[in-house]
Amino acid sequence: MNKTLAWFLGIIAVLIGLVVIFSVFVYFNSQSRFTRIYDVDIQAVEVPNSPEAVERGQYLVTTIAGCVDCHGANYAGDVFIDDAMIGRFFGANLTSGNGGIGQDYTDLDWVRSIRHGIKPDGSPILVMPAMDYYNLSDADLGAIIAYIKSLPPVDNMVEPSSAGPVGRALAVTGQINMLSAEIIDHDQPHPGAPERAQTPDYGKYLASIGCVGCHGAELAGGPIAGTPPDWPPASNLTPGGDLATWDEADFMQTLRTGMTPSGKILDAEYMPWPNLILMTDEDLGALWAYLQTLPAR
C-alpha cells in the first residue's frame, strides 16, 4: 500500500470515528434531556364550569393558541411532524376517550402540561409550545382547561413522540427547541392579562401567546426554527416589514379571507389564517394596534 493511499484511508478512518463519537454524544445528551425529571411547584388555577368559561376556552384554543394544529380538529390527537430524520411528533389525545390523557389528568396536571410543558410524571413534553402558553393569565388558562374537560370522549390511541437522529442533533446544537421545559423559568411569576379591549397592551398579550412562536420574539419574522428547509420564512410583522403599506382594514381583510392586499393567497399549511377567522374584530384590532407600536425592523 503506497503512502498516499494509507494517508487517505487514515483520514477516512478519523472522520468516521469523529462521526461515531458525535453521534454517541448527541444520543446520550439528548436522551438525558428528554428523560429529565422536573420538580416544579405547580400553582393551581381556578377551573370554572360555567358555559361562559367553556365558551371562552373554546375561543382561545381554536383561535389564539392554535391547539387544533397539533391535536386535531376533535382534539383526539394527530401527527404534526412525520420525518424519519427529524422525528415523529404527535399531539396527544386530549379527550377522556380510550387513549386520551383526559381520562386521568387532574386540574394540576393540565396546568403542569400547558403552562410548564411537563407531564404528570415530571418528564418534559416534546415539541409543546408551553413557553408561549406560560403567558396565559390564570383566568384564560382556567377557561382552556374547562373547555378541554368538556370535550366529548374520542377513542384514539396516540403513539409517543420520538426524535430522529437529525432532530436530536439540531436540538443538542441549539438549532431547534424541542423542550419548552428547558427554557421556561418555572419560578418566575407569570404575567397576568390586561383588560380585554382594543388596546396595544391586550394586543401584546394575544401576540405573546399566538404569534411569537413563528414570527419571533420581536415579530420580525424570518426562518422558523425546526421547520424543513423548504418552509417559507415567517412574515415580518413590524412596521418595517411585510405590513408596512397596510392599514387596519387590510390587516383584518387578510386574516378574514387569506388573501393579502396584493392578491397573494396565504397557505394555510404555514399560516393558520382559517383559525383566525373566528377572532373578534376587537381582538384583531388590539393585535393591529400592538403591531403598530413595534420598532420597524
User: Considering the entire predicted model, what is its pTM?
Assistant: 0.89
Q: What is the C-alpha to C-alpha distance for residues 82 and 80, in angstroms, rounded to an integer?
A: 7
Where along the chain do its domains lie?
51-183, 200-291
Average pLDDT, the chain: 90
Is the backbone of residue 24 left (phi > 0), alpha (psi -120 to 50) or beta?
alpha
Segment 201-232, tens digit of pLDDT = 999 999 999 898 889 889 998 887 767 677 78
pLDDT at 21: 86
Segment 54-90, tens digit of pLDDT = 999 999 999 988 898 889 989 999 998 888 888 999 9
Segment 185-201, tens digit of pLDDT = 998 887 778 899 999 99
pLDDT at 40: 94
